[in-house]
Chain A
Amino acid sequence: MTAESLSASYTVEFPFERTVGPTIGAFLGGLRDGQLYGVRTERGALCPPLEFEPGTGAETGELVPVADTGTVTSWTWVRARLGDPVPHDFAWALIAIDGTIGALFHAVDVGGDSGRMATGMRVRARWRAERVGQLSDIECFEVAP
């Protein structure tokens, strides 16, 4: 008699359909249009927007269009893998979008040279030509001229 363990195939599935609501929904719609939005709070415009001010729990206000440029406040260098937004080595960064509070998390492409990355550097969004309403409509950020 040989030792044998029973096995059976099992498909893990998560059949959920998310709702995003008007605030996040309009932000995603803006991405599709190539326009970034922030949302008004008592402290200033928050980008990326949230439905509630995280510091107080207060409801946030109306959406306001903001620039697609900003300043890198923190970053980490990573080797490129299949499926990453940039085909060569790049940085994941927190980007303070101009005129807003908060930090947008995205990739920064400096041509594979980590020596060109610096906290405080100025960056600009590189938009995809085909946009569908998700954060990857911004391919990555690149050094602002």
Chain B
Amino acid sequence: MSRRVAVTGIGQGTQAKRREVSIGAMVREAVTEAMADAELSFADIDAVVLSKTPDLFDGVMNPELYLADAMGAVGLPVTRVFTGGSVGGHAAIYGAHLVQAGLAERVLVVAYSKESEGNFTWALSRGLPFSAPLGAGAGGHFAPVIREYIQRSNAPEHIGWQVAVNHRLNATRNPYAHVHRPDITVEEVRDSRMLWDPIRYLESCPSSDGSCAIVVTAEEHAGQTPAWIHGTAWRTETGHFAGRDEVNPQAGRECAADAYRQAGIDSPAAQVDVAELYIPYSWYEPIWLENIGLAEEGSGWKLVDDGRTAFDGDLPVNPSGGVLSGNPTGATGLLRFAEAALQVRGLAGEHQVDGARRAIGHAMGGASQFHALWVVGSDKPGASR
């Protein structure tokens, strides 16, 4: 890494169905909070990066133009990043790159989705001439991948239910989360409606409105409580080709390996204190644990079964409640990256994991095609732990 870079400001909007605010005002909530946290004003910012899902999802073409005022981007270079659901992670990394490259000192990274303004299932699987009208949505794509994972790993079916419970209980400690179910039980998840076999209703993410913003700065401006960026990586692969392994995508494995190498991590499960992973359906917890090297292939589900990824486990996953508790898709990736940074800054409030000094933020997009991951820490990169 050419230059030390840190996250010094983090803001987010409440995740919910937000019919009372405009898109611009909802974006501004996160921006205002991040700027106050970083103790900066718009005049201090050198560049703005916007993360957003496809325009079709909530119906604003070129949101980077539409939101120039709401993002405080007057007179600044703005770049929109665009990689499906992982886009927030890519935007954070792109912001870090601008600083690392010496092109900017302080970058504001902004992300949002206002899903209540559109119809996601229509946008993801709208009927087209000469095509079968499936109308299956995202879950219809991921369900066969999950079935394949279960078959390969011989995981018992309660694993998915347990993940759904863990994340929803975590969300009760996060005031920004969309879903709050303090009384949720494994039996309730098991008995909830089957949407796409084996994905049940309570094993699925909600559709949310929400926003997130972070400020990334060079070392000289890092302030009192920075989250140091130790490693960043993104990787891509084609969505559909013969021989592709979507259960354990090569792009995801290589993405994580690259970030760990930069961060000097050789035993991820032992050296990482907490992880915020892009888990839109419960079974993606064991799938990603294996894909990004936090568990041996075929044994990610055992970490869940042994309680190790629960809030009080030795490797808590998604203490914020994660995607299962709130999914404003354009912001979801940046929320994972920001929550990881909050943990190592010690500013995660009620969902702070004790002693979190090194954390992973992870995001996935498309048909598990786009992968982004960063490692953040309390210690300055290069310092001994």
Task: Spell out A's residues near B (CB within 8 Å).
Answer: 6, 8-10, 13-24, 50-57, 59
Contact = CB atoms under 8 A, between A and B. Distances in A.
B73 A18 contact: no
B128 to A, nearest CB: 7
6 contacts: A18-B117, A19-B116, A20-B22, A21-B21, A50-B69, A51-B25
Interface of B: 18-25, 28, 42, 58-59, 68-74, 114, 116-119, 122, 128-130
A51 B130 CA distance: 44
A16 B118 contact: yes
Contacts of A8: 129-130
A19 B19 contact: yes
Contacts of A19: 18-23, 114, 116-117
A144 to B, nearest CB: 32
B130 A59 contact: no
Nearest to A18: B117
A16 B68 CA distance: 22
A20 B289 CA distance: 41
* Chain B CB within 10 A, most for which of A10, A21, A53: A21
A15 B115 CA distance: 12
Given A57-B73, A57-B74, A15 B25 contact: no
A18 B117 CA distance: 6
A24 B25 CA distance: 11
A57 B25 CA distance: 12
Contacts of B130: 6, 8
B59 A14 contact: yes
Contacts of A24: 22
Contacts of B19: 19
B25 A21 contact: yes
Given A13-B122, A51-B69, 5 more contacts: A15-B119, A15-B122, A23-B22, A24-B22, A54-B69
A51 B118 contact: no
